[in-house]
Structure formats: structure tokens, C-alpha cells
């Protein structure tokens, strides 16, 4: 029997199984950065002998950076203190989900076009968070902001400070508009 790192001794059948597994494992080959679609990866398992080729990769359009659900700490502090201005506000009180969704999309589109950096979206807290049908926008708006249709306009968002509505409002960092490419 052999003693392993944790101090436990392996039983003979465990040791033989471990030896069998370690004999079948081979390090992965590094991909060559210049030709990722042509890199061949070879995996060796119990019966495989032929190398597997990576499928040809389609050219994927450049995607936006993933959206963060939190603002930078410094930005959040400055917004809360009022040393960073909120460029626009949208109050969704009294709107249905459909109306609120459309209004939010229009608002963010306009804010981006106007060059806004930070906006405040007021959802309201809802009368009672345990009551059915109450606080729907408070729950839904953060989910909407994560959707791909909003990714063009939103780079980050977070619950607002108490002075700006707390749980019933969100700070939203507006993504800078994408410049049209001139490589045509």
C-alpha cells in the first residue's frame, strides 16, 4: 500500500485503478495561435488511436464585452455622494410590464444617443414583496437589463443608494455607442 498526500493509504484495487488511469492520460497539445482552426488535438482514451481534428471555425463577428451586474466601487460611491451626476432618470411607476419594457428600451437608446454615462431607473419597491403581483418591475427590470437586446446600451447596473431610491431604483452605466467601422 502507498500513502498519498492526504495521509490515507490506498487499497491495492484503488492503487491499480489509479495506475491504469494515469497511464492512459496524456498532456494536451498546445494550440498554435496563428492557425487555431488547423490545430489538431489528440485525445487518447481506452480505445482511441486516431487523432481528432478540431472542426473548421466560422468567423464570428466581434462580440461585446460581457455586461457586469455591478458598477465599479468608485463610481458607486461617487453616485451615492452626488459627486458624479446622474444624466437622466426614468420612473416606471404605474406602468405595465409591456409598457415598462418598451419605455426602458427607448430611454436607454436615447440616453446613449445623448452621451449619458449614468442613468437612474426607478422601478418602485412594490407595496409588499410577499404579495402576489407586487414589486413585479423591481424584480423584472434587472432581468431585462441582462437580455441581449439591452447589451448594446448597458455596460453595468446595480441597486441605487438609499438617497436615490435604494431597493426601488437602479443605477445603470450606459455603454458608449459603437463607432461604425471605416474598413469597407
In this structure, whether the domain defined by 73-174 belongs to CATH 3.30.1370.110 is answered with: yes
Cβ atoms within 10 Å, residue 144: 17
Angstrom distance (rounded) from CA 87 to CA 16: 67
> Which residues 6+ apart lie within 8 Å of 64 measured at CB?
151, 152, 175
pTM of this structure: 0.57
* Domain assignments of the chain as residue spans, ordered by start: 12-53, 73-174
Average pLDDT over the chain, rounded to an integer: 76
What residue has cell string 502507498? 2
**pLDDT recorded at residue 99:** 92
**pLDDT recorded at residue 108:** 93
**pLDDT recorded at residue 41:** 45
Alpha helices in the chain (DSSP H): 12-24, 73-81, 97-113, 136-145, 148-151
Q: What is the pLDDT of residues 21-55, one digit of tens each?
A: 888 877 777 665 554 444 444 444 455 555 555 55
Amino acid at each position: 500500500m502507498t500513502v498519498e498526500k492526504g495521509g490515507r493509504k490506498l487499497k491495492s484495487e484503488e492503487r491499480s485503478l489509479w495506475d491504469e488511469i494515469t497511464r492512459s492520460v496524456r498532456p494536451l497539445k498546445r494550440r498554435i495561435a496563428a492557425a487555431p482552426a488547423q490545430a489538431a488535438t489528440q485525445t487518447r482514451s481506452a480505445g482511441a488511436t486516431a487523432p481528432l481534428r478540431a472542426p473548421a471555425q466560422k468567423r464570428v463577428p466581434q462580440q461585446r464585452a460581457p455586461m457586469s451586474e455591478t458598477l465599479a466601487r468608485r463610481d458607486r460611491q461617487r453616485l451615492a455622494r452626488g459627486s458624479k451626476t446622474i444624466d437622466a432618470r426614468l420612473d416606471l411607476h404605474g406602468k405595465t410590464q409591456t409598457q415598462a419594457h418598451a419605455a426602458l428600451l427607448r430611454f436607454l437608446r436615447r440616453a446613449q444617443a445623448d452621451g449619458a454615462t449614468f442613468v437612474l431607473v426607478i422601478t418602485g419597491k412594490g407595496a409588499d414583496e410577499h404579495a402576489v403581483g407586487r414589486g413585479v418591475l423591481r424584480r423584472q427590470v434587472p432581468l431585462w437589463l441582462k437580455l441581449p437586446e439591452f447589451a448594446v446600451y448597458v455596460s453595468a447596473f446595480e441597486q441605487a443608494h438609499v438617497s436615490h431610491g435604494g431597493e426601488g431604483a437602479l443605477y445603470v452605466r450606459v455603454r458608449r455607442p459603437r463607432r461604425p467601422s471605416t474598413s469597407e
